């Protein structure tokens, strides 16, 4: 239940932020938040994370559906997992579903968080769902390393 609550929070926050961008920032326009370091830049990503494989939207829509289904099954079997694992899986599930909603609604994912220091040193645009997926995967990896360290040290 904890994982599903986290997933639902991620989905709601992700969709609310994307809706605000879609309604207030024209596509391909930029709005500075902290000078040029942090900007809102409204783009539509038809590929994977960071714009990889643009135009493969159908593939990624299918992949997102499969990934969400697999995560739900994993959550069912992870009922006795630690709170950290449950929260991590909820972050990944919420992010996957948030981006899936975009693919079904717009045919591409709405990205808008634009971070960098100049026009040449910028991270690819991303969104709240991408951030949740990244944080969830990092937490799962850290948890895995912690468990692995315990097993090998005994």
Q: Does the active-site annotation cover 130? A: yes
Catalytic residue chosen out of the listed positions 14, 102, 114, 130 = 130
Instruction: Give burial (CB, 10 Å; 0-12/13-18/19+) of 63.
Output: middle
How far does Cα 83 stand from its chain's mean position? 20
* Six-digit token string for 153: 């040290």
Torsion from C-alpha of 76, 82, 84, 86, nearest 10 degrees: 10
Catalytic residue chosen out of the listed positions 14, 102, 111, 114 = 111
Q: Which residue bears the tokens 């937490």?
A: 139
Which residues form the catalytic set? 111, 130
């Amino acid at each position: 239940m904890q994982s599903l609550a986290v997933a639902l929070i991620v989905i709601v926050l992700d969709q609310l932020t994307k809706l605000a961008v879609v309604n207030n920032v024209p596509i391909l326009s930029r709005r500075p938040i902290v000078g040029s370091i942090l900007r809102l830049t409204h783009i539509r990503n038809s590929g994977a994370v960071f714009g990889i494989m643009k135009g493969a939207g159908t593939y990624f829509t299918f992949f997102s559906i499969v990934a969400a289904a697999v995560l739900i099954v994993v959550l069912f079997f992870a009922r006795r997992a630690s709170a950290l694992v449950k929260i991590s899986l909820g972050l990944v599930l919420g992010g996957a579903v948030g981006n899936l909603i975009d693919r079904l609604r717009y045919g591409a994912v709405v990205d808008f968080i634009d971070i960098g220091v100049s026009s040449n040193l910028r991270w690819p645009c991303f969104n709240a769902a991408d951030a949740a997926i990244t944080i969830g995967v990092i937490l799962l990896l850290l948890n895995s390393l912690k468990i692995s360290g315990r097993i090998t040290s005994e």
